[in-house]
């Protein structure tokens, strides 16, 4: 199954996660999103935010062919956790 | 408009989501003088919630832009703009120059610094914070009520709570909090008891549920004892020796 | 219809809110809101509605900008003497170029209404009009050091059912701004469909403390006519 790909390396936080979130919103539960992001703050925050919002991080690995500091994170869309009332 | 306020002054840290509505409401309340401190420039993503600035201000330095807008709207308000970070080097001088300290900042380090500096200089502090759909407000009366460190002791460890920069913000909720802070400042400067003095007010917007958490002085709280070493967000230390005067409120 | 690049950049910070996201933002963009009033109470409300991305704002106000209106957040000294609806619409378009804002005209069909005229009689009429059209609406009143915001989703107890006599005291600037912002907040939650509370509610602001409770239909009120049919 080919995952939808999203390249957010050109953006600064919080835009990196905003775009990831929108892309995930457009998928169905169980579908995968492949995000290309930069090391540093994006790499720290995007996978963590995704997990907090009920998704699964399937893999997280460097992309040497794309130059130093590029990473690929694959996220599977999950169900949002029940929100505290 | 209360004529008593015309002789009073406030230090407002932050001119964005909280500081913006606060300054607009405070200016209309007849305050005499305000010092605004902000080290940021206006960005596109600010514009969903910062009423002091519009598209024409993109790229502008916030403190001077805020001063300009306020001076046009409220000619009797004296505005001093500090285009710099509120940190251990300038905190004490700034808080000492005004009658009340108002925290409209968007990060924990600044909030705790404002708390410590206000206590060291024996100035009341009106603290506000927004996180997603929740707003919180607290007034610290040095020597009388608990402070931010009585409540939290230390800022939360990095990554445990989304920073204000990471989490979502709804402009109107920040507007509500900022306006409520302005009301509190007006009350304090008019010599009345603060509504949030020693009482943390927490408002959750979606269920419209409000609760009050009493904040008592914690024995051993280093901030409440004064003479503390102020730490900037970079961890630089700045020794503070202040003789605490009689706490006349 | 997906959000544009400029919309994503502008609304980035609220797109991160749980429950809002692209779908909620699109609901806001599709809304056409009639705002009754353009003075110091409606001003903050109008600004926050525009900043949140309510797609179309219609400003319904017949007065001229007075020097007192400079505390409305929308006007500058050069606007004094101009019609408030036109000056407000212009300020809103400047605040957010992605939304449309114009003076309200007969024949406009809103999808939601925010009532903040500052005058009880005007508020009652406007709220009743909204109710009869089946529109969700929010009514804001500032009074002394506080005020109230009444939230009326379509079909819930009407404004008259929730109305309480206030003190009629001149509202302070801080209370006016707080009530205006709260009214905008409640309408945004309603239109974006993230409020977690489907029932109507009234939020009183008393000395800096919001106090909310659900609204209750008064027996015999015409707003419940359909449900109460046949019951004396």
CB spacing of C52 vs B172 below 8 angstroms? yes
Residue A84 pLDDT greater than 60, yes or no: no
Q: How far apart are CA B227 and CA B241, in angstroms?
A: 5
pLDDT at B226: 62
pLDDT at A81: 67
Those residues whose C-beta lies under 8 Å from the C-beta of residue C219, and which sit 6 or more positions away, are none
pLDDT at C167: 78
Binned at pLDDT 50, 70 and 90, residue B247 comes out as very low
CATH fold of B3-238, please? Answer: Rossmann fold (3.40.50)
Taking only the tens place, the pLDDT of each residue in A6-38 is 999 988 878 899 999 999 999 999 999 999 999
Taking only the tens place, the pLDDT of each residue in B75-109 is 999 999 999 999 999 999 999 999 999 999 988 88
pLDDT at B242: 38
Those residues whose C-beta lies under 8 Å from the C-beta of residue C124, and which sit 6 or more positions away, are C159, C160, C163
Domains of chain C and CATH, by start: 5-206 (3.40.50.720)
Q: How far apart are CA B69 and CA C76, in angstroms?
A: 9
Residue B181 pLDDT greater than 90, yes or no: yes
* Contact present, B208 and B47 (Cβ < 8 Å): no
DSSP 8-state assignment for residue C228: T
Q: How far apart are CA B10 and CA B189, in angstroms?
A: 9
Nearest to C179 by CA among C201, C152, C210: C210
- Which residue did the predictor score with more confidence, B193 or C177? C177
* Contact present, B133 and B170 (Cβ < 8 Å): yes
Token representation of residue A52: 């907090």
C112-115 and C32-36: which strand pairing? parallel
| CATH class belonging to A4-76 | alpha beta
Binned at pLDDT 50, 70 and 90, residue B159 comes out as low
Which residues on adjacent β-strands are paired with residue B130?
B135
pLDDT at B239: 43
What is the SS3 assignment for C48?
A: helix
Binned at pLDDT 50, 70 and 90, residue C226 comes out as low
Which phi and psi angles does B214 have, rounded to 5°? -65, 140
pLDDT at B111: 94
Residue among A3, A13, A57, A63 flagged as catalytic: A13
| Chain C: closest CA distance from residue B69 (Å) | 9
**Domain spans in chain B, listed from the N-terminal domain onward:** 3-238
pLDDT at A5: 93
Taking only the tens place, the pLDDT of each residue in B10-68 is 999 999 999 999 999 999 999 999 999 999 999 887 877 889 988 889 999 999 999 99
Nearest to B135 by CA among C209, A17, C146: C209
pLDDT > 90: what percent of chain C? 84
Mutate to test the interface with C, among A13, A22, A48, A53 (most CBs of C within 10 A): A22
pLDDT at B219: 86
* Contact present, C161 and C216 (Cβ < 8 Å): yes
Query: Mean of the per-residue pLDDT values for chain C?
Result: 93
**Domain spans in chain A, listed from the N-terminal domain onward:** 4-76
Give the ipTM. Answer: 0.92
pLDDT at B238: 45
- Residues C123-132: what's their mean pLDDT? 96
Residues 166-185 of B with CB under 8 A from A: 166
């Amino acid at each position: 199954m080919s995952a939808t790909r999203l390249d957010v390396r050109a953006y600064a936080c919080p835009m990196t996660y905003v775009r990831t979130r929108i892309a995930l919103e457009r998928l169905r539960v169980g579908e995968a999103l492949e995000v290309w992001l930069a090391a540093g703050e994006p790499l720290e925050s995007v996978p963590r935010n995704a997990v907090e919002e009920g998704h699964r991080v399937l893999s997280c690995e460097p992309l040497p062919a794309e130059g130093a500091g590029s990473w690929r994170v694959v996220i599977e869309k999950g169900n949002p956790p029940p929100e505290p009332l | 408009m209360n004529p008593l306020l015309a002789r009073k002054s406030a230090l407002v840290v932050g001119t964005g989501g909280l500081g913006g509505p606060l300054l607009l409401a405070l200016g209309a309340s007849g305050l005499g003088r305000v010092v605004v401190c902000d080290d940021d420039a206006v960005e596109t993503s600010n514009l969903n919630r910062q009423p002091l600035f519009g598209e024409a201000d993109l790229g502008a330095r916030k403190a001077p832009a805020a001063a300009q807008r306020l001076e046009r709207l409220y000619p009797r308000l004296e505005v001093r703009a500090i285009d710099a970070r509120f940190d251990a080097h300038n905190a004490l001088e700034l808080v000492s120059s005004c009658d009340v300290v108002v925290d409209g900042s968007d990060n924990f380090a600044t909030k705790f610094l404002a708390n410590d500096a206000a206590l060291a200089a024996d100035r009341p502090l009106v603290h506000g914070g927004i996180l997603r759909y929740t707003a919180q407000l607290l007034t610290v009366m040095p020597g009388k009520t608990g402070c931010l460190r009585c409540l939290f002791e230390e800022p939360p460890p990095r990554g445990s709570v989304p920073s204000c920069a990471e989490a979502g913000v709804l402009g109107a909720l920040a507007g509500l909090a900022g306006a409520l802070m302005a009301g509190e400042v007006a009350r304090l400067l008019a010599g009345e008891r603060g509504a949030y003095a020693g009482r943390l007010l927490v408002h959750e917007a979606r269920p419209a549920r409000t609760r009050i958490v009493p904040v008592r002085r914690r024995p051993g709280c280093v901030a409440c004892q004064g003479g503390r070493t102020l730490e900037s967000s970079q961890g630089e230390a700045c020794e503070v020796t202040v003789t605490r005067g009689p706490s006349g409120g | 219809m997906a959000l544009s690049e400029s919309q994503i950049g502008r609304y980035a910070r609220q797109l991160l809110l749980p429950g809002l996201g692209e779908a909620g933002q699109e609901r806001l963009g599709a809304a056409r809101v009639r705002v009754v009033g353009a003075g110091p109470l409606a001003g903050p409300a109008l600004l926050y509605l525009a900043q949140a991305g309510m797609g179309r704002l219609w400003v319904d106000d017949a007065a001229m900008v007075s020097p007192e209106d400079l505390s409305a957040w929308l006007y500058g000294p050069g606007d004094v003497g101009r019609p408030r609806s036109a000056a407000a619409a212009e300020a809103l378009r400047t605040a957010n170029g992605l939304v449309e804002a114009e003076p309200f005209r007969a024949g406009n069909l809103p999808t939601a209404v925010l009532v903040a005229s500052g005058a009880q009689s005007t508020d009652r009429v406007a709220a009743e009009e909204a109710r009869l059209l089946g529109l969700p609406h929010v009514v804001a009143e500032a009074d002394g050091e506080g005020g109230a915001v009444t939230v009326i989703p379509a079909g819930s107890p009407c404004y008259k059912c929730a109305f309480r006599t206030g003190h009629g005291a001149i509202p302070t600037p801080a209370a006016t701004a707080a009530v205006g912002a709260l009214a905008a907040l409640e309408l945004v939650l309603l239109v974006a469909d993230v409020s977690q509370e489907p029932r109507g509610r009234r939020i009183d602001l008393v000395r800096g403390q919001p106090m909310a409770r659900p609204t209750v239909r008064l027996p015999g009120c015409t707003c419940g006519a359909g449900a109460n049919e046949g019951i004396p």
